[in-house]
A = this chain, B = another copy of it.
Amino acid sequence: MSPVPGADPRPPGVLAHPTTPRSLRVHDAALRAATELLAEGGLPAATMDAVVTRSGVSKATLYKHWPSRTALAAEAFGLRTAGAAPPPDTGSARGDLTEQVRRVGAFCAGVDGRVFAQLLAACVTDPCAGAYFRAFCLAARREAVAELWRRAVRRGEAAPGVAADTATDVLLGALVLRLMAGHAALGPGEADRIADAALNGLLTAPGS
């Protein structure tokens, strides 16, 4: 980590700790290590001690940057995962929202889904990590749906009386429930069925 004296590969004139404010170096190293560990063994592998070992950042320092190991893991996972794909634009609200649900379904069914579930689970135990999870793992996904929703409302394709929050959770909740409880499949077909059901409504006759 700190350059070994006499083995300094930096050209003269370059400071030992270049521009990088000390904190940044640490922050990055820890996140990188956590990301790798999560990819290798999921949350259980992303032990604080493991992060310490791999990143070279000391445990005390880690706890100055994050309130708990779960928070660190959530940030690391979120940063890697929240890569904003361009929002779907199929021309219709139905198509857009269905596609988005399908994407989230694929995410849940994939390798990352497992880690996502582990993080969500950990946040139940560790409330201070909840904020990190919501900020780094949840917000972007919910916002993506909410954005589509608002566009649909503007176009007059969506029920105007439904809040974006409500619509979002109705569309995504079933997927997350299945991911966590494991009582039903999560394949692409299921995502479609869920999207259809939620978008069309469950009842035949409209009401209140």
Asked if A46 is at the interface of the complex by the 8 Å CB criterion, the answer is no
Q: Quick one: closest B residue to A169, CB to CB?
A: B174
Asked if A40 is at the interface of the complex by the 8 Å CB criterion, the answer is no
Asked if A109 is at the interface of the complex by the 8 Å CB criterion, the answer is no
Q: Say yes or no: A93 contacts B203, CB within 8 Å.
A: yes
Asked if A120 is at the interface of the complex by the 8 Å CB criterion, the answer is yes
Which residues of A, 91-144, contact B by the 8 Å Cβ criterion? Answer: 92-94, 97, 117-118, 120-125, 127, 130, 133-134, 138, 142
With contact pairs A121-B125, A124-B121 given, residues A142 and B201 touching in the complex (Cβ less than 8 Å): no
Q: Say yes or no: B170 contacts A202, CB within 8 Å.
A: yes
Q: Say yes or no: B206 contacts A202, CB within 8 Å.
A: no
**A196 partner, pick from B142, B183, B208, beta carbons under 8 A:** B208
Asked if A157 is at the interface of the complex by the 8 Å CB criterion, the answer is yes
Q: Say yes or no: B134 contacts A180, CB within 8 Å.
A: no
With contact pairs A133-B181, A177-B172, A177-B177 given, residues A203 and B121 touching in the complex (Cβ less than 8 Å): no
Instruction: Give the CA-CA distance A95 to B208 in the complex, in Å.
Output: 10
Q: Say yes or no: B130 contacts A124, CB within 8 Å.
A: no
Asked if A165 is at the interface of the complex by the 8 Å CB criterion, the answer is yes
Chain B residues within an 8 Å CB radius of A199: 201-203, 207
Chain B residues within an 8 Å CB radius of A31: none
Asked if A52 is at the interface of the complex by the 8 Å CB criterion, the answer is no
Asked if A198 is at the interface of the complex by the 8 Å CB criterion, the answer is yes
Residues of A within 8 A of B (CB): 44, 92-94, 97, 117-118, 120-125, 127, 130, 133-134, 138, 142, 149, 152, 156-159, 162-163, 165-167, 169-178, 180-184, 190, 193-194, 196-208
The 8 tightest CB contacts between A and B, nearest first, are A201-B201, A173-B173, A173-B174, A121-B121, A169-B174, A121-B124, A173-B177, A200-B201
